[in-house]
């Protein structure tokens, strides 16, 4: 552990930032936020861990290859466009479930634009982390094991 | 129910995509299995031969790009049926043959993928009824044939020749597309059926000359007419099954097919007739003469293909009923014997290890079945009775003796072409098998080829004999073909071996005698072959191609060296300079330096923010350490974010903050690896850059001031804001636009982001590996 305070802060803040990013993602349709901002926030959470401890810890926290997130995000975004076509619209026409209420969270609107936003969220995380990991590897090849 | 036309296409394309999988399962039997697809398509097409013979046409139509009048429409008429049967029938035999020829090749699956895709493209080409669809299939044949010719890609020679074929036919295809657009523009339709019905309109159009020349640009390059003939003999670099297929039934016939299919629309004028017949006859003569000086079995055959293509073009140009009949007959005959001869040549090469005809002789005892097939095909090609080749040649003479005056030149060309072609046929199909055996001098001890490799040649060779004996078998196929080319009703034709004693027969006798005589003195040509080829090479079309190719490369290099210096500094300078130019233009365009600014929105907080940002910018420019630059730039970025906040754009502000943060973090990693900041430009250059940068900044300021004044159309943004909640159930208009109203744009953007991530990773890993190799 290179930086005691940053490392500790990273561990504490990480779950908060991830939850915050999800909230921002969800509320984006009505309030400032959305997949792009949410994705950047989530990526920041990992990068914070990466700087505080090491990029390897951040990678382990992520579990999957960021490239997988890129692919998954694109797939989710594309799939979100299909339900609209089933009801006769063009590709990416929005489709919504009936509104329902949950305790604590209030009224819930779920629809394909939200799914699309999840795709954007994943791609942004994938992009940011993939780039960061690559550049970090470039910066410290002696201390970090290169990943093939 | 989908049309059988579509089914036959899907069958072949489906097989091509499954090929790799099938070959992985059973590499020994995959050729036989895969051949079921082309044979299935063959059966599907053949089952409708009766309908076509009656003069009807089968059509299939699906709307595609209706806005461009580009419908996916297929049509089966006589010409399409004849070509389709050749493509699938010979294709099936080639697929089987290849399983023997390529036996045990590690990339067999890939080979079949290319071969069957090519077959599908070719079938699509001959079946399509829409010029745009035809063009797409045309290009697909170019690309797949490029992959096939360059299949032995580890050889530089192969790659060069494949590229040559691709460039030549590809450039021609561009011309052809332009011609198609002219045709579409004048006739108002891209449908072949409709275009062929309005030939008069096209012929009277002022663009007629352009149409003909452009379309012929495509047809001549594809069918290797002089001066684009050089790529065809070079395409022999392909594995032999490919050569057999490309030369006999497919690729090179595509150009002939196109000219024949458009004959009712564009033909019938002096321009069309003379261009075709003159270029065709020159190609014919050039090819057969050059063919005499070839010693490579495949090269000899390639030159005869060239000759045949010239002959077919010439007949199409002459354009009389007789000539078309001769052309169609010859087309069929040639496809049969040429595929057989190429396969025989491949077998000989495969079994003996050489294609040098000066070494090959007396193989008939060792390879009896191959010799039998080769002999049949060669006799058919020589035009001896009772083979189908004889009928084809008689038809040509019958058509030619009707000519008068100067046109008798074509009779002469046909005669010379035929008898030289006969000599070449004997050289390629008979020579290797007869005479005294010298198999001890060969690189390999020859054996009979496996069944997969003699089946095709035997079927086609015997086919040539059977059709010669019973020509009425194919009149039902040839008659509607003639009708398609001439654009008239189906004629009643009779094909006979024996026409009685007449002038064509006399010409045939002379042809045979001359051909045989030339064959007996073949050694004399071989003796000087190398010198002759070396002597004419600098004057040939291929040398010209090389000159043009090298000149293009030189030009490209020269301008790249000037424009792509590899220095970021130069690129940025260029970009900013051009932008400045446009900015000046834009500002002058919107009323020049007239501003009307409301200073009341500008208060103290803003003023302070701006001052901080300006100071930071100066610090960034003058700093000597990366860290200072980074912090200063970050300050500017956060200042922008604060401005967003101040004017009530939280979405933008959050994004700006996050992006700014991440940029600083990412940049840190890069900076660690960079050498310390140094001044590398001269003083003059820095002054120049400073002036440009200041101008740019100043102009941006003017532009912003202008933008405040200009009343843009607010209707769109107001409408989007109004629709946001009722239509898309979202109150955040920015987000609704991103994920709903303009979701397709966003999809495009995230795709670009994903691609960029992979690109960055690739760049970084290249650097990383280089460094690792350097240190270890």
Q: With CB atoms and an 8 Å threshold, state whether B750 touches A77.
A: yes
Q: What is the pLDDT of residue B528?
A: 80
CA–centroid distance for B650 within its chain: 52
If you count them, how many residues does chain A have? 148
Q: Which of B341, B437, B353, B441 is nearest to B382 (CA)?
A: B341
Q: Are B629 and B645 in contact (CB under 8 A)?
A: no
Q: Which of A74, A79, A125 is nearest to B747 (CA)?
A: A74
User: CA of B740, closest CA in chain A: separation in Å?
Assistant: 6
User: What average pLDDT does the segment A5-30 reach?
Assistant: 87
Cα B249 to Cα B332: distance, rounded to the nearest angstrom? 9
Q: Are B238 and B246 in contact (CB under 8 A)?
A: yes
Q: What is the pLDDT of residue A148?
A: 41
Could you tell me where the beta strands, DSSP code E, fall in B542-680?
none
Q: What is the pLDDT of residue B776?
A: 42
Q: What is the pLDDT of residue A143?
A: 47
Residues 6 or more apart whose Cβ sits within 8 Å of residue B453? B97, B100, B101, B343, B346, B347, B350, B370
Q: Decide if A148 is inside a domain.
A: no
- How do residues A62-76 score in pLDDT, each as one tens digit? 889 999 999 999 999
Average pLDDT of the residues of chain B: 86
CA–centroid distance for B378 within its chain: 31
Number of compact structural domains in chain A: 1
Q: With CB atoms and an 8 Å threshold, state whether B730 touches A29.
A: yes
Q: Are B641 and B657 in contact (CB under 8 A)?
A: yes
Buried b (16+ CB within 10 A) or exposed e, B235-268: bbbbbbbbbbbbbbbbbbbbbbbbbbbbbbbbbb
Q: Are B115 and B34 in contact (CB under 8 A)?
A: no
Residues 6 or more apart whose Cβ sits within 8 Å of residue B70? B64, B130, B132, B133, B190
Chain B residues close to A123, C-beta within 8 Å = 750, 753-754
Q: What is the pLDDT of residue B615?
A: 94
Q: Which residue in chain B is spatially nearest to A43 when comparing CA positions?
A: B662
Distances in Å between the Cα of B44 and the Cα atoms of B39, B128, B371, B745 are 9, 16, 33, 44
- How do residues B483-512 score in pLDDT, each as one tens digit? 888 888 888 887 777 777 777 888 888 888
Its pTM stands at 0.74
Of B670, B738, B751, the CB nearest to A34: B738
Distances in Å between the Cα of B100 and the Cα atoms of B108, B200, B241, B343, B743 are 11, 51, 10, 11, 53
Chain B residues close to A26, C-beta within 8 Å = none
β-strand pairing of B58-65 with A100-102: unpaired
Q: Phi first, then psi: give them for residue B449, nearest 5 degrees.
A: -70, 155
Q: Which residue in chain A is spatially nearest to B772 when comparing CA positions?
A: A141
Tokens for B686, please give them. Answer: 């820095």
Q: What is the pLDDT of residue B1?
A: 42
Cα B350 to Cα B241: distance, rounded to the nearest angstrom? 11
Residues 6 or more apart whose Cβ sits within 8 Å of residue B516? B422, B423, B426
Chain B residues close to A17, C-beta within 8 Å = none
Tokens for A78, please give them. Answer: 């594309």
Which parts of B590-649 fold into alpha helices (H)?
604-622, 626-646
Tokens for B748, please give them. Answer: 């495009």
More confident residue, A80 or B727: A80
Residues 6 or more apart whose Cβ sits within 8 Å of residue B365? B437
Tokens for B276, please give them. Answer: 């075709």
Query: Measured between CB atoms, does A78 come within 8 Å of chain B?
Result: yes
User: CA of A20, closest CA in chain B: separation in Å?
Assistant: 13
Distances in Å between the Cα of B692 and the Cα atoms of B300, B539, B565, B573, B678 are 65, 53, 20, 8, 21
ipTM value for the complex: 0.86
Cα B295 to Cα B631: distance, rounded to the nearest angstrom? 75
Give the dihedral sign, CA B578/B579/B583/B584: negative
Q: With CB atoms and an 8 Å threshold, state whether B746 touches A116.
A: yes
Torsional class of B238: left (φ above 0), alpha (ψ -120 to 50), beta (otherwise): beta
Tokens for B119, please give them. Answer: 């077959």
Q: What is the pLDDT of residue B2?
A: 58
Residues 6 or more apart whose Cβ sits within 8 Å of residue B574? none
- Residue B564: Cβ-neighbour burial (10 angstroms; 0-12, 13-18, 19+): exposed
- Termini Cα distance of chain A: 24
Query: Measured between CB atoms, does B731 come within 8 Å of chain A?
Result: yes
DSSP B739: I
Q: Residue A100's CB: how many other CB atoms inside 10 A? A: 9
Q: Where are the domains of chain B?
A: 530-564, 566-711
Tokens for B361, please give them. Answer: 């002789």
Q: Which of B293, B551, B489, B507 is nearest to B413 (CA)?
A: B507
Q: Are B243 and B302 in contact (CB under 8 A)?
A: yes
Q: Decide if A131 is inside a domain.
A: yes
Of A28, A44, A70, the CB nearest to B757: A70
CA–centroid distance for B466 within its chain: 36
User: For residue B79, how many C-alpha atoms fall within 13 Å in the half-sphere facing its CB?
Assistant: 31
User: Token pair 């804001």 is at which residue?
Assistant: B721
3-class secondary structure per residue, B565-582: CCCHHHHHHHHHHHHHHH
Q: With CB atoms and an 8 Å threshold, state whether B754 touches A120.
A: no
User: Token pair 């390879």 is at which residue?
Assistant: B367
Q: What is the pLDDT of residue B563?
A: 84
Q: Are B201 and B233 in contact (CB under 8 A)?
A: no
Tokens for B511, please give them. Answer: 């042809």
The vertex-B604 CA angle with B598 and B605, nearest 5°, equals: 110
Percentage of chain A surpassing pLDDT 70? 91
Q: What is the DSSP string of B52-88?
A: HHTT--EEEEEEEEGGGTEEEEEEE-HHHHHHHHHHH
Cα B456 to Cα B478: distance, rounded to the nearest angstrom? 23
Chain B residues close to A39, C-beta within 8 Å = none
In chain A, which among 6-25 make CB contacts under 8 A with chain B? none
The vertex-B139 CA angle with B134 and B144, nearest 5°, equals: 125
The vertex-B151 CA angle with B167 and B158, nearest 5°, equals: 60
In chain A, which among 26-65 make CB contacts under 8 A with chain B? 28-37, 40-41, 43-44, 47, 51
Intervals of chain B under pLDDT 50:
1, 775-776
Cα B425 to Cα B433: distance, rounded to the nearest angstrom? 13
User: Token pair 């001959």 is at which residue?
Assistant: B126
- Residue B342: Cβ-neighbour burial (10 angstroms; 0-12, 13-18, 19+): buried
Chain A residues close to B735, C-beta within 8 Å = 28-29, 33-34, 117
Q: Are B152 and B239 in contact (CB under 8 A)?
A: yes
Q: Which of B740, B688, B322 is nearest to A93 (CA)?
A: B740
Tokens for B547, please give them. Answer: 């000159």
3-class secondary structure per residue, B414-456: HHHHHHHHHHHHHHHHHHHHCCCCCHHHCCCCCCCCCHHHHHH
Chain B residues close to A10, C-beta within 8 Å = none
Cα B153 to Cα B322: distance, rounded to the nearest angstrom? 45
Q: Which of B343, B353, B509, B517 is nearest to B427 (CA)?
A: B517
User: CA of A54, closest CA in chain B: separation in Å?
Assistant: 13
Q: Decide if A144 is inside a domain.
A: no
């Amino acid at each position: 552990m290179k930086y005691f305070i940053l490392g500790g802060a990273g561990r504490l803040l990480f779950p908060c930032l991830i939850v915050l990013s999800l909230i921002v993602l969800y509320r984006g349709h009505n309030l400032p936020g959305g997949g792009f901002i949410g994705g950047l926030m989530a990526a920041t959470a990992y990068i914070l861990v990466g700087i505080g401890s090491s990029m390897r810890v951040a990678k382990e926290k992520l579990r999957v290859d960021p490239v997988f997130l890129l692919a998954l995000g694109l797939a989710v975004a594309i799939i979100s466009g299909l339900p609209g076509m089933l009801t006769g619209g063009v590709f990416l026409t929005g489709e919504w479930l009936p509104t329902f209420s949950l305790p604590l969270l209030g009224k819930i609107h779920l629809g394909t634009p939200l799914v699309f936003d999840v795709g954007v969220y994943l791609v942004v995380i994938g992009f940011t982390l993939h780039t960061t990991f690559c550049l970090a590897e470039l910066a410290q090849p002696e201390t970090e094991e290169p990943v093939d | 129910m989908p049309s059988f036309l579509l089914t036959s296409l899907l069958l072949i394309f489906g097989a091509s995509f499954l090929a790799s999988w099938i070959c992985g399962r059973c590499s020994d039997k995959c050729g036989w299995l895969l051949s079921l697809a082309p044979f299935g398509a063959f059966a599907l097409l053949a089952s409708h031969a009766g309908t076509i013979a009656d003069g009807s046409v089968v059509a299939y139509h699906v709307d595609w790009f209706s806005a461009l009048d580009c419908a996916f429409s297929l049509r089966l008429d006589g010409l399409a049926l004849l070509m389709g049967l050749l493509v699938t029938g010979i294709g099936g035999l080639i697929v089987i043959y290849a399983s023997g020829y390529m036996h045990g090749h590690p990339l067999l699956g890939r080979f079949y993928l290319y071969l069957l895709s090519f077959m599908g493209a070719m079938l699509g080409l001959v079946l399509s009824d829409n010029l745009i669809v035809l063009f797409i299939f045309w290009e697909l044949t170019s690309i797949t044939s490029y992959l096939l010719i360059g299949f032995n890609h580890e050889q530089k020679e192969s790659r060069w020749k494949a590229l040559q074929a691709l460039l030549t036919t590809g450039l021609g295809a561009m011309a052809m597309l332009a011609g198609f657009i002219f045709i579409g523009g004048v006739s108002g339709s891209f449908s072949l059926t409709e275009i062929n019905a309005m030939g008069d309109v096209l012929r009277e159009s002022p663009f007629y000359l352009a149409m003909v020349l452009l379309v012929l640009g495509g047809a001549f390059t594809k069918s290797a007419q002089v001066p684009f003939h050089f790529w065809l003999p070079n395409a022999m670099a392909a594995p032999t099954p490919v050569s057999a297929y490309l030369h006999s039934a497919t690729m090179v016939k595509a150009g002939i097919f196109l000219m024949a299919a458009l004959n009712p629309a564009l033909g019938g004028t002096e321009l069309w007739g003379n261009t075709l017949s003159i270029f065709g006859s020159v190609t014919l003569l050039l090819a057969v003469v050059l063919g005499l000086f070839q010693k490579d079995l495949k090269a000899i055959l390639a030159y005869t293909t060239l000759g045949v293509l010239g002959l077919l073009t010439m007949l199409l140009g002459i354009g009389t009923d007789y000539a078309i009949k001769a052309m169609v007959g010859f087309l069929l005959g040639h496809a049969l014997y040429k595929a057989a001869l190429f396969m025989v040549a491949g077998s000989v090469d495969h079994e003996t290890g050489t294609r040098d005809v000066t070494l090959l002789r007396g193989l008939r005892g060792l390879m009896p079945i191959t010799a039998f097939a080769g002999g049949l095909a060669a006799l058919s090609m020589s035009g001896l009775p009772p083979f189908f080749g004889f009928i084809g040649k008689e038809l040509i003479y019958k058509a030619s003796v009707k000519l008068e005056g100067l046109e008798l030149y074509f009779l002469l060309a046909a005669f010379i072409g035929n008898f030289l072609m006969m000599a070449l046929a004997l050289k390629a199909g008979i020579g290797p098998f007869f005479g005294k055996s010298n198999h001890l001098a060969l690189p390999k001890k020859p054996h009979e080829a496996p069944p997969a490799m003699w089946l095709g040649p035997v079927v086609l060779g015997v086919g040539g004999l059977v059709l010669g004996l019973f020509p009425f078998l194919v009149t039902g196929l040839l008659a509607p073909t003639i009708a398609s080319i001439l654009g008239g009703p189906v004629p009643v034709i009779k094909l006979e071996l024996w026409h009685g004693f007449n002038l064509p027969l006399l010409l045939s006798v002379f042809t045979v005698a001359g051909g045989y005589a030339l064959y007996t003195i073949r050694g004399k040509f071989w003796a000087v072959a190398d010198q002759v080829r070396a002597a004419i090479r600098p004057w040939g079309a291929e040398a010209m191609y090389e000159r043009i190719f090298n000149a293009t490369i030189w030009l490209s290099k020269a301008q790249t060296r000037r424009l792509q210096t590899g220095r970021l500094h130069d690129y940025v300078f260029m970009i900013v300079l051009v932008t400045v130019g446009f900015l000046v233009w834009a500002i002058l365009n919107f009323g020049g330096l007239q501003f009307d600014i409301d200073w009341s929105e500008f208060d103290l907080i803003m003023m302070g923010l701006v001052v901080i940002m300006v100071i930071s910018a100066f610090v960034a420019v003058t700093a000597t350490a990366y860290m200072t630059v980074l912090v200063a730039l970050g300050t500017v970025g956060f200042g922008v974010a604060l401005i967003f906040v101040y004017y009530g754009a939280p979405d933008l502000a959050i994004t700006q903050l996050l992006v700014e943060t991440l940029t600083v973090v990412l940049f840190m990693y890069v900076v660690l690896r960079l050498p310390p900041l140094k001044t590398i430009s001269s003083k003059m250059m820095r002054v120049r850059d400073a002036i440009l940068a200041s101008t740019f900044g100043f102009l941006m300021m003017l532009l912003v001031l202008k933008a405040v004044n200009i009343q843009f159309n607010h209707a769109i943004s107001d409408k989007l804001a109004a629709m946001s909640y009722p239509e898309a159930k979202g109150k955040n208009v920015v987000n609704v636009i991103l994920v709903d109203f303009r979701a397709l744009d966003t999809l495009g953007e995230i795709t670009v982001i994903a691609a960029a991530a992979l690109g960055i990773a690739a760049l970084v890993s290249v650097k990383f590996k280089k460094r690792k190799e350097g240190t270890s």
